[in-house]
Structure 1
Amino acid sequence: MTKRIRLLILVPATLALFAAAVPLPAADRPVPDLPAPVTDADYMATDPAMVALGRLLFWDPVLSGNRNIACATCHHPRFGTSDGVSLSMGEGGIGLGPERRGDPADLPEQRIPRNAPALFNLGATAFTTLFHDGRIEADPAKPNGLRTPLDDEMVQGFSGVLSAQTMFPVLAPDEMAGHYGENDVSKAVRSGQLTGPGGAWDLIAARVAAIPAYRQGFEAALPEVAAGRPIAFTDISNAIAEFMAVEWRSDDSPFDSHLRGEAPLTGAAARGMALFYGPAGCSNCHSGPFQTDHGFHAMGVPQLGPGKAERFESHSRDEGRFRVTGRAEDFAAFRTPSLRNVIATAPYGHDGSHRDLTAFLRFHADPVAGLAGYDRAQPVLPPLESKPDWAEMDNPEERARLAAAVVTPPVVLSEAEIADLMAFLASLTDPVALSGRMGIPETVPSGLPVDR
């Protein structure tokens, strides 16, 4: 008898149970209802001058408090625009990717609580909510069009959510700002000075403005800066957003060729596509041209690392969307990730709980059983003596809470069908986007080292 496994899907229970009981033979599956192909109209407009500035700023460590970490440190094309580890090491780390280690002279206080997400297609206008918990969202009712944890402290001038997301890493002590008291930026963050004269953003903008190449570049790109307005942090973040939108636009995969009628998928990839958009139910969450509904779902992913606790809290939980909304039904729910180039973006899950994509699919077959038998060798965790990585998984009550949050039913798929799904996921790979269109600059205007 063919071995079969249970794969979690987000569909009404009756449909899921029917699919589990009566899986369709491959030859009898209907042609799936596919999304429309991606076009230029799906992406934000960009200015080549701002893109060029953003490229340099993305790779320049000058934006970090201690001038030792760039955006690229944790979002590197070598690791699928992430960093190849489950939980990043920001301030206090040395090296790149899985080889990154704590600096013995200035050890990190803890790991970054969540996996560094990939950057593909974030310039698409469909992406109006960012971060694993969606704590930054487009909101036309707000004066600046954005809803963020800073709320009324948010300044105007961010071009959108992709630009505004840059404010979080530069203000986070464990990511880019630096430990308390180490530099002017970290001191400003500690004192709560974020905006205005002497605020963290103002200090970073002043650093950039003091470098002639950047000052001249912004004067050429922005008439108001040429007319005398000081360079603002929002100018920097807008430039980085435009660069990311161009550099990692991803719509030239075999799947895109299929959608455009240029080269149909065949064999295992075609069978996997029929499953993905059909009886496996994957597309109920991973919907649309970028394979995400931009929604939030509790999928029972094991909790590891320091969690998301306030300074006055002692737990290691990551309550996900609940911390943003306060709604009980959002406990342990995280944003549905896009699956573009997913083969190259390991580890997987909001905290990188799985290094292997097939293992991650198998875990989704039955998260409750998966939590009980979870293989703790799955994460990629460079050594760091800090807050224990497994505090929540060692707590039976917390494991039970994660299991109880899962409300979606399973579907039965064979091993051959899992292989077909993996073939379809591979068809979402875009080599141009993976390598980047402009690549790594040889140097950056600050003269600081570039992570290569």
Structure 2
Amino acid sequence: MKCLRWLAVFSLIAPAVWAEDPQDDWQLSEVCPPGFVLEGESCKFSSLYSEYPSLQDAGMGGLKVGLPEPRDGFKPAEIDLGRLLFFDPVLSGDGSVSCASCHQPDKGFTDGRALSRGIHGQIAERSAPSLWNVGFLDTLFWDGRAKSLEEQMLGPLYAEHEMGNTPEQLMASLSANPTYVKLFKQAFPERGLTLDTVYIALAAFESSLISLNSRYDLYAHGFHDVLNQNEIEGMNIFRSFVARCGECHTPPLFTNRELAVLGTPEPTGRPLDIGAEGPTGDRSLRGGFKVPTLRNIELTAPYMHSGRFKTLRETVEFYTKGRGHAVPEGEHLSIHWHIWEPKLTDAELDRLVDFLLTLTDQSFMPVIPERVPSGLSVVDALNHSEITTTPVAMGDTP
């Protein structure tokens, strides 16, 4: 088992490739995706981090710290079926967008937009968070209103301004497709095609998106030559009790999986987004959002829940400008106690950005299918309509 975990670390040198796309006979994969090993019939997560103590036992911000419990135990066929569904526009009401439209692999499983767009070019109220390592999370959506992937996906699938589908239409579309009926029977022999198995397959695929092989991870595992002096300096600033970045963006996930009120400014002309106050009714969480992972942050611009900042340099600078400096007049937010006035220098902010770039790793990138059982275009869905309309009140993507 340890040998397999060491192989996972060195996948930076020789990235693992998942099974080839099914072509003529649409047979689902019998091989676990990278980062997982087959135990019996199920794929179990495997990583060097599994050898390390939990955060509670190891202390805040240490290098050799374990991970939360992963979401694993899915069968290879379930994961592979979820992969096809994730890229298939058949899941949307008009066949124009897929899950991958807002969570594009080459953009860190975001969409590169400040505010995501759904069918008919409708504009969302929030940006699309990354899906890397989402299987470790128990707080989903920017406002934290979902606690599982299955619960989360009900939002985008059935929101009129996102994928615009209904449970009835989704089942009708998939049931009318003989290939999908066959594949669901292969992945779920006893249950076949149901709404629940659709959700399970998508959750299985999303849980397989593992990014833990960055240069930072090699450094954490003892290969210290992979970071240069500027990057190490940035890491030390990140972990310091002055900057306090690591207290919320806690390694190795680089999120503490909690909600925090930061006082982030909204784009010009937009009112305050009340965030987690909405689903919870808790006034102390007004303007509060989940702490996002910093994994692959280099690829996921623009930043914050509304895409307010275009660059990482702008983003890190926000935290040194003073507690609550961007809170709108008349608003009284319960700013998280970690947000204070570290007074970092320009050089220190530059070093922080240098360090954040070491968190880039897409060595376990899943294979994007060239075609999907519906026959709809994978590429068109990835590059769906740029037409925009007036933003509508909504939730958001996960």
TM-score band (shorter)?
0.7 to 0.9
Report if the CA contact (8 A) 1:76-1:83 is conserved: yes
Q: Tell which has more relative contact order, 1 or 2 (C-alpha 8 A, sep 6+).
A: 1
Report if the CA contact (8 A) 2:284-2:333 is conserved: no
Alpha-carbon distance in 2 for matches of 1:306, 1:242: 40
Which of 306, 320, 344 aligns to 2:299? It is 344
**Structure 1 residue 364: deviation in Å?**
2.1
Q: Which residue of 1 aligns with 2:366?
A: 437
Q: 1:129 to 1:35 in 2, by over 3 A?
A: farther
Question: What secondary structure, in the 3-state scheme, does the structure 1 residue paired with 2:191 have?
Answer: helix
- In the TM superposition, what are the counterparts of 1:6-405 in structure 2 within 5 Å? 33-36=61-64, 42-93=70-121, 108=122, 111-124=123-136, 127-137=137-147, 161-177=148-164, 185=165, 200-225=166-191, 231-246=193-208, 248-264=209-225, 265-279=227-241, 280-304=243-267, 316-366=271-321, 371=326, 399-401=328-330, 404-405=333-334
Letter in 1 for 2:317: R
Report if the CA contact (8 A) 1:443-1:449 is conserved: yes
Letter in 2 for 1:275: I
Report if the CA contact (8 A) 2:139-2:145 is conserved: yes
Structure with max Cα Rg: 1
Alpha-carbon distance in 2 for matches of 1:130, 1:401: 29
Alpha-carbon distance in 2 for matches of 1:68, 1:402: 40
Q: 1:326 to 1:40 in 2, by over 3 A?
A: closer
Question: What secondary structure, in the 3-state scheme, does the structure 1 residue paired with 2:135 have?
Answer: coil
Q: 1:40 to 1:51 in 2, by over 3 A?
A: farther
Q: 1:359 to 1:306 in 2, by over 3 A?
A: closer
**Structure 1 residue 363: deviation in Å?**
1.8
Alpha-carbon distance in 2 for matches of 1:284, 1:40: 16
Report if the CA contact (8 A) 1:250-1:430 is conserved: yes
Deviations 1:333-384 (A, max 9, x none): 111101001111101001111111101111222267863xxxxxxxxxxxxx
**Structure 1 residue 290: deviation in Å?**
0.7
**Structure 1 residue 402: deviation in Å?**
5.1
Q: 1:40 to 1:368 in 2, by over 3 A?
A: closer
Q: How many residues align?
A: 318
Question: What secondary structure, in the 3-state scheme, does the structure 1 residue paired with 2:184 have?
Answer: helix
Alpha-carbon distance in 2 for matches of 1:176, 1:367: 39
Report if the CA contact (8 A) 1:322-1:333 is conserved: yes
Deviations 1:191-217 (A, max 9, x none): xxxxxxxxx323312311221111111
Letter in 1 for 2:133: N
Q: Runs in 1 of length 4+ with deviation above 6 angstroms?
A: none
Alpha-carbon distance in 2 for matches of 1:269, 1:292: 20
Alpha-carbon distance in 2 for matches of 1:352, 1:206: 36
Per the normalisation by structure 2, the TM-score is: 0.74
- In the TM superposition, what are the counterparts of 1:409-428 in structure 2 within 5 Å? 409-428=340-359
Q: Which residue of 2 aligns with 1:143?
A: none
Alpha-carbon distance in 2 for matches of 1:132, 1:38: 25
Report if the CA contact (8 A) 1:84-1:346 is conserved: yes
Letter in 2 for 1:87: L
Report if the CA contact (8 A) 1:87-1:305 is conserved: no
Report if the CA contact (8 A) 2:286-2:334 is conserved: yes
Alpha-carbon distance in 1 for matches of 2:268, 2:235: 34
**Structure 1 residue 164: deviation in Å?**
2.4
Q: 1:289 to 1:354 in 2, by over 3 A?
A: same
Per the normalisation by structure 1, the TM-score is: 0.66
Question: What secondary structure, in the 3-state scheme, does the structure 1 residue paired with 2:249 have?
Answer: coil
Question: What secondary structure, in the 3-state scheme, does the structure 2 residue paired with 1:399 have?
Answer: coil
Letter in 1 for 2:100: A
Deviations 1:80-113 (A, max 9, x none): 21111100121212xxxxxxxxxxxxxx3xx200
**Structure 1 residue 168: deviation in Å?**
0.5
Q: 1:263 to 1:212 in 2, by over 3 A?
A: farther
Report if the CA contact (8 A) 2:67-2:253 is conserved: no
Between stretches 67-76 and 291-300, larger displacement belongs to 291-300
Identity fraction in percent = 33
Alpha-carbon distance in 2 for matches of 1:242, 1:282: 31
**Structure 1 residue 287: deviation in Å?**
1.3
Q: 1:77 to 1:88 in 2, by over 3 A?
A: same
**Structure 1 residue 283: deviation in Å?**
1.1
Deviations 1:262-293 (A, max 9, x none): 34534111111111112321111111411111
Q: Which residue of 1 aligns with 2:376?
A: 448
Report if the CA contact (8 A) 2:320-2:340 is conserved: no
Which structure 1 segments of 5+ residues have no match? 1-31, 94-107, 138-160, 178-184, 186-199, 308-315, 372-397
